[in-house]
Amino acid sequence: MRLAPLIGPDLQDAIAIGPEAVREAVSEFHAEDIAELLEDLSAREAISLVRALPNETAADVVERLSAHRQVLVFNAIDTGRAVELLSEMDPDDRVDLLQELDDDDAKALLAALERREPEAAEEVRELVQYEPETAGGLMTTEFASLPPETRVWEAMEAARRFGREGVAETLYYIYVCRPSGELRRPAGGQSVFSPSAARWESGSSSNASRDSPIP
C-alpha cells in the first residue's frame, strides 16, 4: 500500500507550516518511506521537504529518489547544501546523481566538493571512468574491515553494528586488513568474513567456531 494517500495530506500541511513541522511529521519514517512520499508531492513541496531535513536524512532520501526527482531537487537547492548532501551520499549514488545533471552543473558541484571533501571528489573521479552498467560502474569504494585478531563472535557483532550504522550499502563481506589498511593475504588463510555464513573465507570453505580467530 502506498503511503501518499494516507499521509500525504498531513505532510503537505506540515510543509505549509514550516521546517520544524516537517521534521516532526517524518521523524518516525524510514528514508525509503520519505522518498516514496516525496515522489508524489508537487515540485515545490518536494524541494521544501528536502530543505527541511537534516543533511544525513536528506541524503538518504535523495539516494532513493528517481533520477528525475534528484535532478529537480539539486537544481533547486543552493550549492552549499548540494555539496553537503553529496558528502553524505554513498560513492556510487553520488556518481549516478552527478551524471544525471547538466555537465556544467556537475563540474561546478564537483569543484565545490573538491574544496570541502577532497577524498569524496577523488572517489567520484575514480568511479566516473566506468560505464554505468559495467561492474566498475556499479561498484562502490566503501567497505567494512576488521583487524586480524578479531574472533568470529566479534565479527558477527561488528556486522550487526555496521548494518545499524550504514557503514556499507550492502554487507556481503567484511575484509580483514592490517593496521596499515592493507588487505591481509595469508598463505592458505582467510582474508574476508562472510556474515551470512558466519565464517572466515578465502579460497577455502573451512568453517570456524565462534571463538576462532582468523587462521
* Residue 76, phi then psi, degrees to nearest 5: -100, -30
Asked whether the beta carbons of 14 and 21 are under 8 A apart, the reply is yes
Neighbour order of strands in the sheet with 199-201: 144-146, 174-176, 192-194, 199-201
- The pTM assigned to this predicted structure is 0.62
Domains of the chain: 4-138 (1.25.60.10), 144-201 (no CATH)
Residue pLDDT, tens place only, 79-134: 999 999 999 998 888 999 999 999 999 999 999 999 999 998 998 888 777 555 54
Single-letter amino acid code for the residue at 1 = M
Residue 9: pLDDT band (50, 70, 90) is: confident
Residue 11: predicted pLDDT: 87
Residue 155: predicted pLDDT: 73
Provide mean pLDDT across the span 166-178.
Answer: 64
Residue 113: predicted pLDDT: 94
Residue pLDDT, tens place only, 185-205: 543 445 555 555 555 554 334
- Per DSSP (E only), the strands in 48-109 are none
Residue 210: predicted pLDDT: 43
Residue 209: pLDDT band (50, 70, 90) is: very low
Q: What percent of the chain has pLDDT over 90?
A: 44
Residue 181: pLDDT band (50, 70, 90) is: low
Which residue would you say has higher pLDDT here, 135 or 20? 20
**Alpha carbons 18 and 22: distance in angstroms, whole number:** 6
Q: What percent of the chain has pLDDT over 70?
A: 66
Average per-residue pLDDT in the chain?
77
Residue 61: pLDDT band (50, 70, 90) is: very high
